[in-house]
Amino acid sequence: MENFEPSAPRPALALSATFFPKMTIFLGVFKMPGRPPKPVNLIKLEGKSHRTKAELEAREKTEKQLLTGQKMKAWPEVRENELARKEFNRIKKLLEIIGHNDALHEAVINRYCLLTAECKQIEETVEQLRRELAELAEAKQNGDIEFMEYLHEKGNIHDRIIAWDKKLMDKRKMLLQIEKENVMTIMAALRSIPKQPEEKKESPMAEYLRRKREGQSG
Cα separation, 161 vs 172, whole angstroms: 16
pLDDT at 30: 39
pLDDT at 13: 37
pLDDT in tens, 126-167: 999 999 999 999 999 999 999 999 999 999 999 999 999 999
The total of structural domains in the chain comes to 1
CB 122 within 8 A of CB 171: yes
Assess if residue 162 is contained within a domain: no
Q: Which residues of the chain have pLDDT under 70?
A: 1-66, 183-202, 216-218
Range of 180's domain? Answer: 11-120+168-195
pLDDT at 21: 37
pLDDT at 139: 94
Cα separation, 78 vs 168, whole angstroms: 19
pLDDT at 25: 40
* Dihedral over Cα of 157, 158, 160, 161: its sign: positive
Q: What's the Cα-to-Cα distance from 88 to each of 15, 24, 77, 107, 139, rounded to whole Å?
A: 20, 13, 12, 11, 43
Long-range contacts of 147-152 (CB under 8 A, 24+ apart): none
H-helix or E-strand spanning residue 57: helix 53-65
Assess if residue 157 is contained within a domain: no
Assess if residue 188 is contained within a domain: yes
> Which amino acid appears at position 1 of this protein?
M
Assess if residue 6 is contained within a domain: no
Q: Is 47 left (phi over 0), alpha (psi -120 to 50) or beta?
A: left
Cα separation, 167 vs 119, whole angstroms: 9
pLDDT at 156: 97
Q: Which of 50, 35, 27 is nearest to 101 (CA)?
A: 27
Assess if residue 205 is contained within a domain: no
Q: What's the Cα-to-Cα distance from 84 to each of 29, 116, 121, 188, rounded to whole Å?
A: 17, 7, 11, 28
Q: Is the pTM of this model over 0.85?
A: no
pLDDT at 26: 40
Q: Compute, in degrees rounded to 10, the torsion defined by CA atoms 133, 135, 138, 143.
A: -100
